[in-house]
């Protein structure tokens, strides 16, 4: 693989372009248009801030609708931390302490809204009600006046009772309201319509000693929308792909690409749309998509792929357009166009592979050697900067001394990292950033961490009479444990870990040691659960102990 990449990087053709892991995505997509669709949102009220000026409140007996922040709902508005409540007096943010009084008759109104062109219009909201069952009621509906009377309120729904701690979703259809006489009436086609919530209590509501306290209706997450019945085609997005169907990371000159265009037919409007044309044009002159679509229905989402083209090194744009062949005017023409932009770079490959650390943690007392293989296009100067961090992700850390802006050599390379200033036993994760005039950013972590180990004993522990290997602690462990050994006679010392099948699981010590007591951390994060053996070899002899890793 490395040999093949090297031939590619040095200009030999026929292998295709390989984009290495860690390269930053360099596609720049135009913003997705905010589609109104056939359904137009007239109100989305979360009560997070002061209520809109289109809200009207009315009251008697010094009671009014108010904003509270104890009981609220997040079904529609994730950041919502307030709701509207028919509160008592004085106004408060906690309905538990100021429940509604008897003879309460208060309402909340929003509007006006123009339903002249509406073919459908609906409202939804979430309600939490704790009123006296069978005596006190909350009504909702619509009116043609912001000043409500028993005669001009057209009712959509009514509720009485105790929801306890459960919010319930309620809906309203502006074409199916009820008159005071019980007849059905529609407000579609009206130019000024108001939606209302009204709370009415009887004379003995909430008597003394009534437990739990009843504090009336609380509403939140109000949504009102209308459908004008018009045609609306919506361009959603476009994505650039390689010929194997994988999205491009770094578009490269000389290679082929195609684009995938996503679009939809709005919800609402006519059931069946007239034929329409979809076109995609590259850089204003090359047609890569041209087709007529027929027999589609509302609420359809469809995908089209363009013809392929060969990329050249430059900035490019693909413009997608939906058009109903001028047979009908659309209700929102701004939804019809999506522009995909990208930049194709000269042939370029970033390739970096960690050699050390690789599959297992690297241990060192004073220093370790970081090793890697790197290949690049010699016509594009590149540098490497090495970092370390106690975190294993996030690409945030401090630079490694001697590892800043190193020029990339074509092949294996290494760096000696001084560990003398780092804490004993702490795993540090290493990553490298590749930088050249093409690669904006990259972050390639080593597969395993570096751990500084083998620190002499604290003052006062002295020198043992003879060598020893203590039982690890803790045992069993997950994933780290501390090993302690003592050396009475200086010389070459090794400490190795093996699994139950005798396979090497790590060399913790391999070098000269003076007399003393040493403690070492073993990290078993890369190994499976099971029995492990660790063996100490000194000029005085060899000793082996057993430990258990439990994950």
pLDDT above 80 for 380: no
Give the pLDDT score at 2.
32
In a domain, 446, yes or no: yes
In a domain, 72, yes or no: yes
Strands in 314-323's sheet, in edge-to-edge order, are 28-29, 337-344, 314-323, 276-282, 286-293
Residue 310 is given by DSSP the state E
In a domain, 55, yes or no: yes
254 and 397 together in one domain: no
Residue 31 CB: number of other CB atoms within 10 A?
Answer: 8
Give the pLDDT score at 307.
95
Total count of residues recorded for the chain: 551
Question: pLDDT (tens digit, 9 = 90+) per residue, 499-541?
Answer: 988 888 989 998 888 888 888 888 888 889 999 999 999 998 8
pLDDT above 80 for 401: yes
Poorest-confidence range of 101-105, 166-170, 445-449? 101-105
CA atoms within 13 A on the CB side of 188: 19
Taking CA 376 as the corner, what is the angle to CA 371 and CA 377, rounded to the nearest 5 degrees?
160
Distance CA 184, CA 180 (A): 10
Question: Where is pLDDT greater, at 322 or 125?
Answer: 125
87 and 204 together in one domain: yes
48 and 192 together in one domain: yes
DSSP labels, 101-143: PTT-EEEEEEEEE--TT-SEEEEEEEEEEE--TTT-EEEEEEE
240 and 93 together in one domain: no
Distance CA 145, CA 193 (A): 7
pLDDT above 50 for 431: yes
| Helix (H/G/I), strand (E/B), else coil: 525 | coil
Distance CA 54, CA 118 (A): 20
Give the pLDDT score at 498.
92
Three-state SS letters, 11-76: CCCCCCCCCCCCCCCCCEECCCCCCCCCEEEEEEECCCCCCCCCEEEECCCCCEEEEECCCCCCCC
Strands 362-364 and 450-452: parallel
pLDDT band at residue 22, thresholds of 50, 70 and 90?
very low
Distance CA 467, CA 473 (A): 19
Percent of residues, the chain, with pLDDT higher than 70 = 79
Q: Two tokens at 417?
A: 């990292």
Give the pLDDT score at 89.
63
In a domain, 328, yes or no: yes
pLDDT above 70 for 468: yes
pLDDT band at residue 37, thresholds of 50, 70 and 90?
very low
276 and 385 together in one domain: no
Closest by CA to 436, choosing from 508, 519, 345, 517, is 345
406 and 385 together in one domain: yes
Distance CA 448, CA 142 (A): 65
Distance CA 304, CA 320 (A): 11
Question: Where is pLDDT greater, at 322 or 389?
Answer: 389
In a domain, 193, yes or no: yes
pLDDT above 50 for 13: no
Averaged pLDDT, 300-312: 90
Question: pLDDT (tens digit, 9 = 90+) per residue, 357-373?
Answer: 887 778 776 788 899 98
Whether residue 474 has a cis bond before it, omega within 30° of 0 = yes
Greatest mean pLDDT range, 5-14, 149-158, 464-473: 149-158
User: Mean pLDDT over all residues of the chain?
Assistant: 80
pLDDT band at residue 49, thresholds of 50, 70 and 90?
low
Identify the domain boundary among 192, 227, 262. 227
Distance CA 547, CA 474 (A): 9
Three-state SS letters, 417-438: EECCCCCCCCEEEEEEEEECCC
199 φ/ψ angles, rounded to the nearest 5 degrees: -120, 130
Instruction: Say how many Å lie between the first and final Cα of the chain, rounded.
Output: 35
Identify the domain boundary among 311, 344, 377. 344
148 and 172 together in one domain: yes
In a domain, 508, yes or no: yes
pLDDT band at residue 403, thresholds of 50, 70 and 90?
very high
217 and 68 together in one domain: yes
CA distances from 153 to 46, 118, 150, 156, 230 (A): 24, 20, 6, 10, 30
User: How many domains does one find in the chain?
Assistant: 4
Q: Two tokens at 234?
A: 């919506």
| Structural domain that includes position 247 | 20-33+231-344
Question: pLDDT (tens digit, 9 = 90+) per residue, 222-280?
Answer: 999 888 777 777 788 899 998 988 888 768 788 899 999 988 877 666 666 778 888 89
pLDDT band at residue 457, thresholds of 50, 70 and 90?
very low
What's the CATH number where 126 sits?
2.60.120.200
pLDDT above 90 for 429: yes
Q: 6: part of which helix (H) or strand (E)?
A: helix 2-9
What's the CATH number where 337 sits?
2.60.40.10
49 φ/ψ angles, rounded to the nearest 5 degrees: -120, -165
CA atoms within 13 A on the CB side of 468: 10
In a domain, 15, yes or no: no
What's the CATH number where 505 sits?
2.60.40.2550
474 and 511 together in one domain: yes
Averaged pLDDT, 308-313: 91
In a domain, 5, yes or no: no
204 and 95 together in one domain: yes
Taking a C-beta distance cutoff of 8 angstroms, is the pair 445, 397 a contact?
Answer: no
319 and 436 together in one domain: no
495 and 518 together in one domain: yes
pLDDT band at residue 39, thresholds of 50, 70 and 90?
confident
Give the pLDDT score at 190.
96
Identify the domain boundary among 289, 312, 344. 344
Averaged pLDDT, 188-208: 85
| Helix (H/G/I), strand (E/B), else coil: 89 | coil
């Amino acid at each position: 693989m490395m040999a093949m990449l090297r031939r590619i990087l040095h200009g030999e053709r026929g292998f295709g372009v390989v984009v290495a892991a860690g390269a930053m995505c360099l596609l720049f997509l135009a913003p997705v248009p905010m589609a109104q669709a056939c359904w137009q949102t007239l109100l989305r009220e979360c009560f997070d801030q002061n209520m809109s000026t289109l809200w009207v409140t009315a009251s008697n007996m010094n009671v009014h609708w108010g904003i509270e922040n104890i009981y609220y709902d997040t079904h529609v508005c994730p950041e919502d931390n307030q709701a509207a409540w028919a509160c008592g007096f004085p106004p408060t943010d906690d309905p538990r302490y100021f429940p509604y009084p008897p003879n309460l008759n208060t309402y909340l109104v929003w509007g006006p809204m123009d339903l002249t062109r509406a073919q459908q219009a609906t409202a939804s909201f979430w309600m939490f009600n704790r009123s006296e069952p069978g005596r006190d009621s909350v009504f909702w509906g619509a009116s043609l006046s912001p000043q409500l009377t028993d005669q001009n309120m057209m009712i959509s729904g009514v509720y009485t009772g105790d929801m306890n701690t459960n919010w319930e979703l309620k809906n309203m259809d502006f074409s199916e309201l009820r008159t005071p006489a019980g007849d059905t009436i529609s407000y579609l086609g009206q130019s000024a319509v108001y939606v209302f919530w009204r709370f009415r209590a009887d004379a003995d509501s909430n008597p003394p000693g009534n437990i739990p306290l009843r504090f009336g209706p609380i509403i939140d997450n109000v949504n009102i929308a209308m459908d004008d019945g018009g045609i609306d085609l919506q361009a959603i997005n476009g994505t650039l792909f390689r010929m194997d169907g994988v999205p491009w990371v770094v578009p490269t000159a000389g290679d082929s690409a195609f684009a995938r265009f996503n679009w939809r037919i709005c919800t609402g409007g006519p059931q069946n749309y007239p034929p329409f044309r979809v076109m995609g044009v590259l850089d204003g002159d090359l047609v890569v998509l041209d087709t007529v679509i027929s027999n589609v229905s509302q609420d359809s989402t469809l995908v089209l792929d363009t013809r392929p083209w060969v990329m050249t090194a430059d900035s490019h744009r693909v413009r997608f357009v939906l058009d109903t062949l001028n047979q009908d005017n659309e209700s929102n023409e701004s939804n019809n166009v999506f522009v995909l932009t990208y930049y194709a770079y000269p042939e370029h490959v970033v390739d970096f592979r960690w050699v050390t650390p690789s599959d297992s943690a690297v241990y060192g007392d004073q220093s370790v050697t970081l090793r890697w293989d790197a290949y690049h296009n010699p016509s594009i100067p590149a540098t490497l900067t090495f970092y370390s961090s106690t975190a294993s992700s996030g690409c945030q850390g401090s630079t490694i001394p001697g590892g800043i802006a190193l020029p990339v050599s074509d092949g294996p390379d290494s760096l000696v990292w001084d560990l003398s200033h780092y804490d004993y036993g702490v795993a540090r994760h290493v990553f490298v950033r590749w930088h050249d005039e093409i690669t904006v950013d990259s972050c390639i972590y080593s597969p395993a961490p570096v751990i500084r180990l083998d620190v002499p004993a604290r003052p006062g522990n002295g020198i043992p009479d003879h060598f020893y290997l203590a039982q690890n602690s803790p045992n069993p462990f997950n994933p780290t444990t501390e090993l302690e050994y003592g050396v009475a006679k200086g010389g070459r010392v090794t400490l190795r870990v093996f699994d139950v099948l005798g396979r090497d699981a790590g060399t913790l010590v391999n070098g000269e040691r003076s007399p003393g007591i040493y403690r070492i951390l073993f990290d078993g994060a890369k190994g499976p659960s099971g029995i492990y053996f660790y063996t100490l070899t000194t000029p005085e002899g060899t000793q082996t102990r057993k430990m258990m890793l439990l994950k």
